[in-house]
Structure 1
Amino acid sequence: MQTNAQNPRLTSAILWLMAVLSGLVVANNYYNQPLLGLIAADFQVTESTVSKIAVLTQIGYAFGLLFIVPLGDKLWRKKLILVDLALVILALLFMAFAQQLMGLFIASFFIGVTSVIPQLFVPMAAELSSPEEKSVNIGMVMSGLLIGILLSRFFSGVIGELWGWRTMFEIAAGMMILAWLLVYRYLPELRPNFKGSYGSLMQSVWQLAKTQPVLQLASFRGAMGFGAMSAVFTTLVFHMEGDPFNAGSSVVGGFGLIGAVGALAAAFVGRLVQRFTRYQLIYYALLILLLSWVFIYFGGYTYWGLIIGIILIDLGLQSSHIMNQSDFFALPTNATNRLNTVYMVSYFIGGSLGTYLGAVGWQYAGWTGVCFVGTVFSVSAFSAHVLLGRVFLMKNK
């Protein structure tokens, strides 16, 4: 979508603002993962019980993507973001002060529901970019989002070990207040491009999901890839609490910092579109995702194996994620938020499924079970791309 006279120009400052805020907001969904062991000990419940916190956050995120993100096409986007940020702050404070496990479950769900703002920024970047700059600008916003995901685990692990898990959510609420002020002061407004009712808006989302094969394939690849990564990151804290690591939450969180290496490298994948087709870039990204499990499984009881595996799984997933979005944003429609809704709902349903099955795999077969789940997800993504990707991507080249 070319920039038009009704919309502001995408300056470097606005692009950086969206990238930074994307990282700050999306981090809310991942603070809980290195803290699950601390929460389990605090409430004296099992690891499988407390893992529902991560599952509910991801389900909540998918819920918010489905029912909130499409409104970016119907409402003034800046006002929508400001209201949503206020709700994020309330959900984080609820999490910080909840005294019952059910309260944590409810708070986790609503943290996920309201932390969807980055998925309003990504279509905004695509909408305001020229075709030549679209992949690069999407990669820029995604790099902020991905670094936020990965650094959130490191940050929360350290905070949790030093001051307790509740402190992390209090700090997160403070950061969201800062984000609200930055959005209010600096983010430009975008004119809505859909004038129908909310019901017809949601109906159009379903219509896109049914009629766009490029979007369908991208959504499946994204869901399977994120499911694979979610399986390992949700159970990593339990794996490293035991022999031979006997590590605390700060060490587990450090793997988020390690994964940032892969995410940073993935941010540059958009610059390769002049040399390779999207089919080729996604093919190699998913191949890297598959390769990561060799290290995660065979080197899973060594630091070096896990470090290499985590770097590769992040590099493969995030590279394919950026190219998936570049792929369907190239479709000839102005329904950018609705396209992103279909993709990201699928993405986080896959993540929720990976988190759940990863926990089941851990319960019944330990680390081997986790690796089996992750490998099945990765093979599914790669197989779908090889079987169908060339046809769809060449049509949308």
Structure 2
Amino acid sequence: MLVWLLNHYPSFFERIAGVSTGDSRVFLTARIALATMISFITALIFGPHAIRWLKQNFRERIDSASQKLNELHAAKGNTPTMGGLFIVLAIVVAAILCGDLTNRYLLQALVVVIGFGAIGAQDDWIKVRSKQRGLTARDKFAWQWLLALFVAIALYFVQATKPQGVELIFPFGKFSVALNVFFIIWAALVIVGSSNGVNLTDGLDGLAPGCLIFAGSAFAVLTYLSGHRIMAEYLSIPHMTGAGELSVLFGALVGAMLGFLWFNCHPAQVFMGDSGSLPTGALLGYGALVTRQEVLLLIVGGIFVVETLSVIAQVASFKLTGKRVLACSPLHNHFVFKGDHETKIVIRFWICAALLALVAVASLKIG
């Protein structure tokens, strides 16, 4: 919307074009800040109304596979869930108002956010409307992979036209592997994996939103730098024309998370649910694919990676030896079982997420 207005008022457009940044002709840095504020304000305004409506229709049912965990979280019962609905709303509103809707990266990213949000909403709906624990694992993965493959194919045709666009790049040592058409499978794997990593982390009040604020901020920087020819050349990272527009969307993600955290901090007034964790995680994966920074995604999203690995290790250990390596998985539940206060666990995870984001961005120059 803002880009359209500027393009249709040449006199104002010409004044700001000289100070625009990167490959965007329309004042990118200002639009990133504006998108962040718009999504934050949107979440704050719609949050109370959404929470009242969700209380009447979608209350959380504490029904995990662990009886002890159910007892520890019993007080959280009947807290409204599906808060991801107003997270997605805030992101989409900010993107429409501040983003360039002719940019293919931005449009594909919106498909990711809305599509994975719909899958998550369906999963949440089943949880609260029946005795099931959401979609079956097979159905959930099937829908995720179907959407991820659709986006991956569309992304492939954009990336294949650009230098290093379909290469797996290792930032340390400047080593790369040409993926060619296998980029499609790889891209779908990254999107689905990142989506589920955030989903597994969303288990304590404020945990996932806080970590997403730092991860989203890091990718706002990474997409901005990737879309800026001079900065990309200086840092020796792939320059992807048009990638800078994604920084508007990541700014919106950060703003939406800040607004949601206002209501999700302990004790939570609303839970994110799969409708929020799946699309935000998928967006991180998509950003990594566009900038060709999948390796850095492992650092930026280190908390999500560790949480996922903790579940894999727990399941593998129990199946192979009959013993569990953790008191309860994912990792944050292990500390809950050990008696640590929820707020202490969450803040320590936030600290780690902030440090990981800083390390990832700082490593660009080292690499």
| TM bucket, shorter chain | 0.3 to 0.5
TM normalised by structure 1 equals 0.33
TM normalised by structure 2 equals 0.35
